[in-house]
Amino acid sequence: MSPPLVAMHGIEKHFGGVEAVRDVSVALNPGEVVGVLGHNGAGKSCLMRILSGAMAASGGHIEVDGKPVRIDSPQDARAHGIETIYQTLALANHLDAPANLFLGRELKTRWGNLDDRRMLSEARKALHRLNPNFKNLGDPVARLSGGQRQVIAIARAIYFDVKILIMDEPTAALGPSETAMVADLIKTLKAEGIGIFLVSHDMHDVFDLCDRVMVMNKGANVGDHDIRDVTKDDVLSLIVKGTLPEGWAPRRAVA
């Protein structure tokens, strides 16, 4: 069997006395969608930010394609094909959608000037794939709706060569049709062999889209299960109590 796309081993993160992430190991295979669940403050975003180079881990190591790598900056992560949709979206409010989409990776003309025309047309294509009604591409994103902003953050993550996609609550601000669009997008990306970490509080989405769930409780990984082995109640128990219900056995074995 080929090595996983990415494997995190024994990841730790402390903030002074606060242990945000405690000895968490998790792996992601090509074409696999892994749901990352947990109560508020469980450490999901911290774990994801460590993988995307936004936050330095206090301990542990990361392998990409079976090879140990150092991810010290967002640039490092991108170089390994890791793209992230941050829970905070990470958009520059005064810039317009194309400028945000290409921020840090601007398209340039032969002379090294910004190629705003090409960035606009590329951005329009990328955004319309997610929301055909996306207009006002020239407005500063501060003036756009929460959903439109989220669409820009998603488009930015998938526009470039992505192998591993981290989605930290990507549909939190989206309406039902955009949420459905994102669900379709996840299925398409999955079919292309892209691995996805999906952080979500929406049990329905998780069971609809994920192959596996990993539950965090107070910073620790308290369960990593094939989605077919657990029910919503099992996952809820992991989230709330940190343990599976008494007498639990893999549901597939029982059935």
Partner 1 sequence: MHRLSALATLVLLIALFSFGNPAFLSVNNGLTILLQTSVIGLLAIGMTLVIITGGIDLSVGSVLALAGVVAGLAIKAGAPVPLGMALGVAAGAACGAVNGFVITKMRITPFVATLGMMMVARGLALQLTGAAPISRLGNTFGTLGNGSLFRIVEEGANGFPRVVFPGIPYPVILLAVLALGGAYLLNRRSIGRHIYAVGSNEEAARLSGVRVDATKIWAYTASGALAGVAGMVLMSRLVTVQPNEGVMYELDAIAASVIGGASLMGGVGSISGSMIGAFIIGVLRNGLNMAGTSAFIQQIVIGVVVIAAVFIDQMRNRQ
Ligand X SMILES: Nc1ncnc2c1ncn2[C@@H]1O[C@H](COP(=O)(O)OP(=O)(O)OP(=O)(O)O)[C@@H](O)[C@H]1O
| Contacting residues toward ligand X, per CB under 6 A | 15, 18, 20, 38, 40-46, 87
Q: Backbone phi, then psi, for 234, in 5-degree steps? A: -60, -45
Question: What CA–CA distances, in Å, run from 214 to 125, 178, 223?
Answer: 34, 25, 6
Give the whole-angstrom CA distance, residue 228 versus residue 209.
12
98 binds, among Mg ion, partner 1, ligand X, none (CB under 5 to 8 A by kind): none
Q: Hunting for tokens 């409010």 — which residue is that?
A: 93
Q: Identify residues 123-152 at the interface with Mg ion (CB under 5 A).
A: none
CB of 142 to partner 1, least distance (A): 9
20 binds, among Mg ion, partner 1, ligand X, none (CB under 5 to 8 A by kind): ligand X
Among residues 28 and 97, whose Cβ is nearest to Mg ion? Answer: 28
Selected from 19, 31, 69, 90, the binder of partner 1 by CB under 8 A is: 90
Size of the residue set binding partner 1 (CB under 8 A): 27
What string of H, E and C letters represents the secondary structure of 163-226?
Answer: CEEEEECCCCCCCHHHHHHHHHHHHHHHHCCCEEEEECCCHHHHHHHCCEEEEEECCEEEEEEE
CB of 54 to ligand X, least distance (A): 10
Which amino acid type is present at position 189? Answer: L
Radius of gyration of the CA atoms of the chain, in A: 19
Give the whole-angstrom CA distance, residue 95 versus residue 247.
55
Q: Identify residues 72-91 at the interface with Mg ion (CB under 5 A).
A: 87
Q: What character string, x for contact with partner 1 (CB under 8 A) and - otherwise, covers 24-63?
A: ----------------------------x-x---------
Give the whole-angstrom CA distance, residue 197 versus residue 112.
36
Which amino acid type is present at position 69? Answer: V
Among residues 131 and 200, whose Cβ is nearest to ligand X? Answer: 200
Q: Identify residues 112-131 at the interface with partner 1 (CB under 8 A).
A: 112-114
132 binds, among ligand X, partner 1, Mg ion, none (CB under 5 to 8 A by kind): none
CB of 48 to ligand X, least distance (A): 8
Which amino acid type is present at position 229? Answer: D
Pairing mode, strands 82-85 and 164-168: parallel
Interaction of residue 252 with partner 1, rule CB under 8 A: no
Among residues 46 and 89, whose Cβ is nearest to ligand X? Answer: 46
Give the whole-angstrom CA distance, residue 9 versus residue 62.
6
Binding-site ranges for partner 1 (CB under 8 A): 52, 54, 73-75, 78, 84, 86, 88-95, 99-100, 103-106, 108, 112-114, 156
